Amino acid sequence: MSAKRNLAYIAPLRFVKGVAAQAVRSMKAPGTAYDDPVLGKDPQPEHMRDYVNTVEDNGGVHINSGIANKAFYEAAVRLRGYAWEKAGLIWYKTLCDRLKPLANFADAVRLTSAVAKELFGAAEAKAVKEAWKAVGL
């Protein structure tokens, strides 16, 4: 199965009957996982032009994670195959071994691209850079 088919949602859930939600997060289309009178609308942006600048949520770490989620989705699609074969390894190694607690999006772009090159080569690094570019970085 391709990344496009398997990676659309994080935690696809069955919400309480009557709640209009597909999942907690959408990787493919952040901001579309739910739209419900009780829950409200999924607030996640998928592009830097819609970045939420806030002091709440530790500076918007959860709200703005839609941007990184979309970049991961874009990378997985560009790298083809199963998401865990390349994109998953790149993000995992970057998150576990490279990113520091005060990292920002620029750090994530630089480090995921470097890890992609180290693990797989220049073509994969280019695909990761293109994925980040697709979300405005």
Task: Parse the chain into domains and list their residue ranges.
Answer: 3-134
Q: Which of 68, 62, 71 is nearest to 42 (CA)?
A: 62
CA 72 distance to own-chain centroid? 4
Question: Can you tell me whether residue 10 is helix, strand or coil?
Answer: strand
Task: Report the DSSP pairing between strands 35-36 and 40-41.
Answer: antiparallel
- Could you give the CA distance from residue 11 to residue 36 in angstroms, rounded to a whole number? 17
- Whole-angstrom CA distances from 33 to 17, 42, 66 are 16, 6, 11
Question: How many CB atoms sit inside 10 A of residue 23's CB?
Answer: 17
Q: What's the predicted TM-score (pTM) here?
A: 0.88
Query: Can you give the pLDDT of all 137 residues of the chain as single tens digits?
Result: 455 545 566 555 566 677 777 788 899 999 999 898 888 899 999 999 999 999 999 999 999 999 999 999 999 999 998 999 999 999 999 999 999 999 999 999 999 999 999 999 999 999 999 999 999 99
- State whether CATH 3.30.470.10 applies to domain 3-134: no
**Terminal C-alpha separation, the chain:** 28
Structure tokens at 136: 């405005």
